[in-house]
């Protein structure tokens, strides 16, 4: 079980095709703070999955992808694949 499973479940319940979340809202959904790299490295929001890409796998497994990341305003836009 991953700490990002709640994000996967949340995205899976949506009926919209696109949603923008603040980093703070992502943390509210998962119930804990994200790793500091989520606020520092743009690449940590890319759509490359894999065994060590726990955060990315949460949206990829829910059939979503990131289409915009605003590091300055701490926002991420997801779009249904």
What is the pLDDT confidence band of residue 12, given thresholds at 50, 70 and 90?
very high
Count up the domains in the chain and report the number.
Answer: 1
Band (25; pLDDT cuts 50, 70, 90) = very high
pLDDT, mean over the chain: 95
How many C-alpha atoms does 36 have within 13 Å on its Cβ side? 0
For residue 45, pLDDT beyond 80: yes
Q: Which helix (H) or strand (E) holds 67?
A: strand 64-70
Q: What is the mean pLDDT of residues 58-69?
A: 97
Please count the helices (runs of H) and the strands (runs of E) in the chain.
4, 3
**What pLDDT is stored for residue 26 in this prediction?**
98
Residue 20: what pLDDT?
98
Range of the domain at 41: 5-80
Residues 61-72, mean pLDDT to the nearest whole number: 97
């Amino acid at each position: 079980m991953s700490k990002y499973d709640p994000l996967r479940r949340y995205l899976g319940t949506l009926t919209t095709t696109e949603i923008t979340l603040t980093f703070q809202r992502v943390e509210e959904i998962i119930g804990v703070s994200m790793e500091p790299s989520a606020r520092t490295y743009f690449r940590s929001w890319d759509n490359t999955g894999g065994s060590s890409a726990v955060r990315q796998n949460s949206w990829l497994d829910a059939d979503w992808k990131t289409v915009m990341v605003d590091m300055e305003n701490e926002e991420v836009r997801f779009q249904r694949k």
